[in-house]
Structure 1
């Protein structure tokens, strides 16, 4: 009983610290809880210090993957802003349609869907929200819409990171991860036809939504159908490719006004935008002038292509590098040894010809680590494409220092949070059948029985809420969900799929994302108001996901 209580204690304490009135930030709470878990395992579970220390080192090294992905994504989109590309893209999107429903579905739904597939980690809401505010929509409601909309694609955000990396500690085969991805996409595909309507309600009346329902549903289906189909065969590209298809289809539908009411144009006077909320979103006229030359269509097209290069260059590289038949994937992931460097008691370190890093036998234990330096989306393509974009704009890298400084500043807290999260997850799984995770799973399975399917998405959402990431949610609670499924004789792939769905929908209430959007839009002291407005859609999404789990999974 004591070990069971101590197994739950770090998780419950972490939830309390991050949800209490004066919440403790994740970059503080997670390392503290990791240290507490270390002590508990040492004193109460009698785990050897050697194994615990090896687990800590393994967690620190493993955290490099999400840290580099997040840092690369921030670097890329800061480059897009610094080169004026974001201003040009905004201007082009504004010209597609002046109808609110069209603008909201293009910029609030399809565009962030695509960006989520490429980068993830809260970037889509931070990119889409300023564009919508620039069109004249109220910042607070835009923030809520952006958070609700950016939930469906998250299970496959950042080229599938929440799926392939989030469940990497469970020892699943490629085919098993593929099955989990497809089932999560199936749930998202069904619920995704309804939840965006709740987001649109923030800015449109129900009457307006009903009048434009055909257009809205066509836009949703054009994104969700390829999303589900692609997930059947791949867990890296569903959001990225489906977002691109949905964006093209939605733009085409808007241009031809298919399924839209004819008398609902944008009336800027209908919205009141404060100076504070828009101050951060004014784009430099000089930046736009670099690219937009209305008198010459060909030149304008060239400059638009140059402005959007960080996006289309990244997407192109990701597609090419993820298709095995093209050969680049094998080149970037080759484990053929280049040099082996014994590092004493720490373990056996090796580097491959493709810069795949390996550290085996950490402190003489079975713990090992591998890092695909060139394959994870960071140096390639994020940093590389960003440098090319800076060179293309100014023929030099004078903007590099400011972009790098901004990225490093933004990465301080996420880095500490991820260090703590990965160490905490590793420690919770130490001990095999007697690990804290296994004990928690056995206990929850006995309490919930067959009804756990309904609760699985809520646990995933809770993970995203306090950790700020669907990937970390899957890392933290994936093993617990798997253990519950096995103890209750439930299908583990379905339960893990619902965990993935829960981790994605938890982005609606994720404190980190809410703070980020408020910061971008210049909203002060609005986090609580936004959280209250996004909590209900999150609850509805999780409940529908659990019901679908019972019915179709």
Structure 2
């Protein structure tokens, strides 16, 4: 009983630190929790100090993978913003239809779906919400809609990072990870039939939703059908490609008015054009910073007047980086083309001994590997060319610089802003990864195994009915589906193995839970609220977004019995 109490205590304290009044940010709370776990391992579990140190080193190095992806995504986002492409995309999306439901689905659902697939980490809600407010929608209601809409694609967001990296510590082979992704996509696919209407209800009446439901359904399926199909053979770009296809289909269908009420709903403007443009500028400057910082950087943007018509050529040029991103991802992820095997070739070029630190090796595909860290079995590796940081993010940015004729000061600003934004996330991820690795240290007697055993003894096979909510809890306090999967994936796996449930199903529930937790995630709520100028409404938002989150969990529980 003491072992269980001490195993659970760090997680409970972490939740308390981040959810209490004036809670600590993740970049402080997670390192504190990692320190607690390390002390418990050393003084209670009597784990060898060298093994603890090796896992700390591996945890620090492991943070390079997600932070490099985040950096690449932010850099691409800054380039799109500073080149003026974001202005063009925003004005194009605004002009497609004046039907409120169409606008909400195109921008709040399909466009955000695609952005989640490319960058994730709270970016979709932060980008889509100001565009909708610029169209005249109520900021508080838009914040809730954006949070709820940004759930279905999350498990495969940021080029699948929550799935392939979130479960990277579990020792899963590729076939098991793919099967987990298939089940995850199926649950999301079914949940998507209820989530968009529930999100729309924050802004428009049920009557308006019913009158335009055919369009809602077409827009939803245009994203989720390719999303589900792609997940049958890949877990990296279902959200990215599904969102891109869904956006194109939604725009085309809206242009023809298919499924939309015949009488277009005029949108009452609540802000002048200049205010709407400034709000659009603020979103991309920093999704978690104050709008004053956004205004400062906004002076460098190559903007266009809002009332100027957007030509097809301008739209195509503005969308070129996104199109390139999707194309490169597809080409480098399809095994049959042979490029994937080149980017993941682990054939060693050379090995160098770093003494007590371990053995460093470099492969033909530039895979960095540190083995036998501090003389233990702990190993770290980084797939330089395959992790979607250099390819495609940095590559697309380098191609886009001459394409948009960006000046040197703009390029410098892109990189400096990216560097300033990754500092706090890097610290948070280091803390999370050290905590996870230490929680898993100790084999059968590790804190993770002890906690999993207790949950399995308590719930038995009934665990599948509540498993998704543990994932949601992880996203709630950490602000990330990836961190939720890193934190609770091992517990979920242990429970599945202990009670005889399919681990792929339980891990899929964890992944779905981490995605649906975005609806009530404190970090995301604060970010969107700050950008939209909403003050002291976090509790109000959570009380309302928790309802669709609970409904999501019920769908997940039902689906777990049929997959």
TM class by smaller structure: over 0.9
- Residue aligning to 1:241: 241
> Offset of 1:99 from its aligned partner?
0.8
Cα distance in 2, alignment partners of residues 280 and 534 from structure 1: 24
Partner Cα distance (2:301, 2:185) in 1: 43
Deviation at 1:123, TM superposition (A): 1.3
Query: 2:50 is matched with which residue?
Result: 50
Deviates more, 1:204-213 or 1:526-535: 526-535
The correspondence for 1:363, drawn from 374, 380, 393, is 374
Paired residue for 2:383? Answer: 372
Superimposed CA distance per residue, residues 199-225 of structure 1 (whole angstroms, 9 cap, x where no aligned partner): 101111111001111111121122212
* Cα distance, 1:129–1:342 mapped onto 2, change above 3 Å: same
Partner of 1:287: 302
**1: CA distance, partners of 2:215 / 2:313:** 31
Structure 2 residue 36 is matched with structure 1 residue 36: yes
Are 1:457 and 2:471 an aligned pair? no
1:193 and 2:193 equivalent?
yes
Shift of 1:456: 0.3
SS at match of 1:350: strand
**Count of residue pairs brought into register by the alignment:** 547
Which residue number in structure 2 is paired with residue 180 of structure 1? 180
Shift of 1:275: 8.9
- In structure 1, the partner of 2:165 is 165
| Pairwise CA distance, 1:288 | 4.2
Question: Which residue pairs with 2:203 in the alignment?
Answer: 203
Task: Say whether 1:104 aligns with 2:119.
Answer: no
Question: Does 2:442 align with 1:431?
Answer: yes
Q: Given the alignment of the two structures, is residue 335 of structure 1 paired with residue 350 of structure 2, yes or no?
A: no
1:218-229 correspondence to structure 2 within 5 Å: 218-229=218-229
Instruction: Describe the SS at the equivalent of 1:268.
Output: coil
Correspondence 1:240-389 to 2 at 5 A: 240-269=240-269, 271=270, 279-281=278-280, 287-289=302-304, 300-389=311-400
Measure the CA separation in 2 of the matches of 1:478 and 1:68.
22
Closer, same or farther: CA 286–452 of 1 in aligned 2, 3 Å: closer
Q: Distance in 1 between matches of 2:272 and 2:221?
A: 32
1:381 match: secondary structure:
helix
Distance 1:466 1:512 in 2: 8
Return the offset for 1:111: 1.0
Distance in 1 (alpha carbons) for counterparts of 2:538 and 2:17: 17
Aligned to 1:24: 24
Displacement after TM superposition at 1:140 (Å): 1.6
- Residue 506 (structure 1) aligns with: 517
Q: 2:509 and 2:443 mapped to 1: Cα distance?
A: 24
- Give the alignment of 1:135-150 within 5 angstroms: 135-150=135-150
Query: CA separation of 1:439/1:16 partners in 2, compared to 1, >3 Å: closer, same or farther?
Result: same
- d(CA) in 1 for partners of 2:325, 2:153: 18
Partner of residue 397, structure 1: 408
RMSD: 2.1
CA contact (8 A) 1:138 1:272 kept: no
- In structure 1, what is the Cα distance between the partners aligned to 2:504 and 2:334? 25
* Paired position in structure 2 for 1:526: 537
Q: CA deviation at 1:293?
A: 8.0
CA distance in 1, matches of 2:135, 2:248: 20
What are the superposed Cα offsets for residues 229-263 of structure 1, whole Å, 9 maximum, x if unpaired? 22122111211121122112111211111111111
Q: Distance in 1 between matches of 2:383 and 2:419?
A: 22
Q: Report deviation, 1:340.
A: 2.1
TM-score normalised according to structure 2 size: 0.93
1:280–1:522 contact (8 Å) kept in structure 2: no
Candidates 420, 423, 427, aligned match of 1:416: 427
Alpha-carbon separation, structure 2, partners of 1:423 and 1:86: 37
Query: Is the deviation greater in 302-311 or in 487-496?
Result: 302-311
Give the Cα–Cα distance (whole angstroms) in 1 for the partners of residues 559 and 332 of structure 2.
35
Alpha-carbon distance in 2 for matches of 1:292, 1:144 = 28
User: Mapping of 1:44-83 within 5 angstroms?
Assistant: 44-83=44-83
Q: CA offset at residue 301 of structure 1? A: 3.4
Q: SS where residue 15 of structure 1 aligns?
A: helix
CA distance in 2, matches of 1:374, 1:519: 36
**Cα deviation, residue 360, structure 1:** 0.4
SS at match of 1:287: coil
Does the C-alpha gap of structure 1 residues 202 and 57 become closer, same or farther in structure 2, counting only changes over 3 Å?
A: same
Query: Within 1, Cα distance between the matches of 2:299 and 2:215?
Result: 34
CA distance in 2, matches of 1:515, 1:406: 20
Judge which range, 325-334 or 162-171, deviates more: 325-334
CA contact (8 A) 1:117 1:157 kept: yes
Query: Does residue 473 of the first structure (1) align with residue 484 of the second (2)?
Result: yes
Contact conserved, 2:82 with 2:301, CA < 8 A, in 1? no
Map Cα deviations across residues 457-516 of structure 1 (whole Å, 9 max, x no partner).
000000111111111111110110011111111121111110110011111111221222
**For residue 548 of structure 1, what is the aligned residue in structure 2?**
559
**Aligned-pair CA distance for 1:524:** 3.0
Q: Secondary structure at the match of 2:390?
A: coil
Deviations 1:365-386 (A, max 9, x none): 0111110112111122212212
C-alpha distance in structure 1 between counterparts of 2:76 and 2:182, whole Å: 29
* Residue in 2 that maps onto 1:155: 155
In the alignment, the residues of structure 1 paired with residue 273 and residue 460 of structure 2 have an alpha-carbon distance, to the nearest angstrom, of 52
Alignment CA distance shift 1:103-1:276 (3 Å): closer
CA separation in 2, counterparts of 1:521 and 1:275?
15
- Please say which of residues 6-15 and 521-530 is displaced more in the overlay: 521-530
